[in-house]
Structure formats: structure tokens, C-alpha cells
Structure 1
Amino acid sequence: MKRLIATALLIAPLAGCGLHPLYGGGAGGGVATTLSGVEVAPIEGQAGWLRGNALRDRLAASGTPRYRLDVKLDDQIAGLGVRRDDSVTRERRTLRARYQLVDLADGAVLLDATAGSDAGIDVIVSSEYATIAAENTALENLSGIVADQIVAKLALYARRRQPTR
């Protein structure tokens, strides 16, 4: 009995804390329907193709789009570790995105933000193929991470636009 009372006392303050589920209402909720109405504009380059696919997978657009997501990428690789003979032993791949959510009805920019991540890559001096494969794998992983950041920001934006209950 004491345990039940203690649990009730601990849970009671949470009832008025103002936390609400982001995807409340499931697939028919406001956030999910807003995200499904976002069309991803074509993005240039291999990184753009990977990012666009990652975004389309996460947004699951359906029906007539109400919004367009414009994304501009900055993909850079910089050498970090350098040996005495000036050969690079470690690289850092940085993927940044500036994105805008545009309302298709009037062309207004509703959200203008950035997202980004980076990854370290070991450079194998004896195998150029292994280095290229590691750089491509890093790009794929970074594309997924940045796509998750963008979708999370879009979901928060959609949640804030919903009327409070």
C-alpha cells in the first residue's frame, strides 16, 4: 500500500508538466500529416541524392504536397593526421545542410535552418580503394544522421503550429 501511495505521489507532478507526445494521434495526427505533405526538391550531387532519398524515406510523402523542402549541401573532406612524409593518416568528413521549408500555396519560407554532422575516417595508405570505401560509407551514414536532424526539426515546427489543447 505504501508503495502505491509513493508511486502516485511521484507521478502526480507529471500530470501538469505540459509534456505532450510529438507524434500524438499516430499517422492521422497533425505532425504526421504535415510531414507527409512535404515534397523534397532535387538536391545536387551524390551527397544530395543520398540525402534526398533519406529524407523521402523518413517523411513518407503522400498525396498532393503542401510544402517543399529546399536543401543546399556543403560536403567537405579535410586531412587531419599527417605523417613526416606528408601522407594523410586521418580524414574528417563534414556534411552540412541549409534547408528551407516553403509553403507551396504562397511561396513563403516557413522554416530556415541548418543541420550537420561529421565523421572521422582512417586513411589506409596501402589501399586507395579502402579509403574511398570508408569515405563513401561515412557519407551514407552522415546523410542519414542529417536527414534525421532535419525531420526532427520539421516535426517540432509542425507541433508548434498545432493549436494547443
Structure 2
Amino acid sequence: MKKLAALLLAVALPMALGGCGLQPLYAGGGKGAVAQGLATIDVSPIEGKAGWLVRNALVDRLGAADGKNGAARYRLDIRLDDKLEGLALLSDDTIGRERRTLRARYQLVDLNNGQIVLDASDGSDAGIDVVSSEYAVIAAENTALENLSKDIADRIVTKVAVQLRKSQ
């Protein structure tokens, strides 16, 4: 009896999900409309070390045209706000913990008509332990920035992909 119920559930569940209206974002893989749209995005230069890291992560994730052959249909403009603040004062008035925050404000611009297709912002933060070794603290701050840059790039690509999917 349990096997019959499991079999019915296995057959009925995919049929029920098919009617819910959900569609895969990256249908068609690299040849799909969203992947092709992402590849036509030119990422504008971004100021600073964080900007360099975010831009490189975006170009990697988008498979972007990056001005190589003039195939860009969209331009992604990004402004970053990178903050490092001390938290948790210890008994000897030194900082015991830091918080690194990276915020991005970005716009996806259609190069055919200059229209802003997407105007959004995202952010991410990381906690850093401050230890007695300055080198270890600097290394931790840099690692946090690298990880935050990748996270911001992932968030931007997701929102852009969803927007491109909606505009199809």
C-alpha cells in the first residue's frame, strides 16, 4: 500500500508542478535567452579595489561582451560603498571586532534607447575578528572584501537575470 501511494505521489507531483507556472531561469543553458542576454552586458569600470573585484566577478559570471566585439546591448553601471567599522571595544579600549559592509547601487541601461531597464541596490557584510597580529587582521579584511565582492556580483547577476527573463 505504501509503495502504491509513493508511486502515485511520484507521478502526480511533477504534473502538479508543471501547472504552477514556474519556469527555469536558465532554460536552454548557454543557448537560452537569459544566458544570451547576460552575455550582451558591458560592465562599466568601477572605482577602487572593491570595484575592480566586483567588476571582474561580474564579467566572469556574465560571460560578458565587455566591449570585445561591439556586441553589447546593455550597460551595467555600478557605484559601491565600502565601509569598515570597528565594533566591540575591549577593556583596554582596543577594537575586538570589525564589520565590513559592501553596498552596490546599480542600473542596467538598454544601449538601443538609453532606457534604464533595472535600477536596484544590494549589499552584504562580514564580521572580522581583530587579533594581535596586524598582518592577520589585514589579511582577514582583504579576504572579507573578496568574499563580499563575489556575493554582490552573484546578487546583481541574479536580479539582472530575473529582469531579463521578465522582459522576454
Q: Which TM-score band applies after superposition, normalised by the shorter structure?
A: over 0.9
Matches within 5 A, 1:102-117: 102-117=109-124
Query: Can you give the 5+ residue segments of structure 2 that lack an aligned partner in the other structure?
Result: none
**What is the TM-score with the length of structure 2 in the denominator?**
0.91
Give the aligned residue type for 2:155. Q
**AA aligned opposite 2:97:** R
Q: Give the Å deviation of 1:12.
A: 2.7
Task: Say if 2:163 is the partner of 1:160.
Answer: no
Equivalent residue number for residue 129 of structure 1 = 135
Q: Give the equivalent residue in structure 2 for 1:69.
A: 76
Paired residue total: 161
Amino acid at match of 1:113: A
Residue number among 42, 46, 53 corresponding to 2:45 in the alignment:
42
Q: CA RMSD in A?
A: 1.2
Question: Any stretches of 5+ residues in structure 1 without a counterpart?
Answer: none
Q: How big is the shift at 1:61?
A: 1.4
- Name the structure 2 match of 1:100: 107
Question: For each residue in 1:105-161, what CA deviation from the matched residue of structure 2 results, as whole angstroms up to 9, or x when unmatched?
Answer: 22111100001100000001x211111110000000000001000000000001111
Query: What is the one-letter code of the residue matched to 1:137?
Result: T
Equivalent residue runs for 1:44-59 within 5 Å: 44-59=47-62
Measure the CA separation in 1 of the matches of 2:9 and 2:122. Answer: 43
Structure 1 Cα separation of the partners of residues 127 and 73 of structure 2:
38
What SS does the aligned partner of 1:153 have?
A: helix
Q: Quick one: distance in 1 between partners of 2:13 and 2:32?
A: 30
The amino acid of 2:64's aligned partner reads A
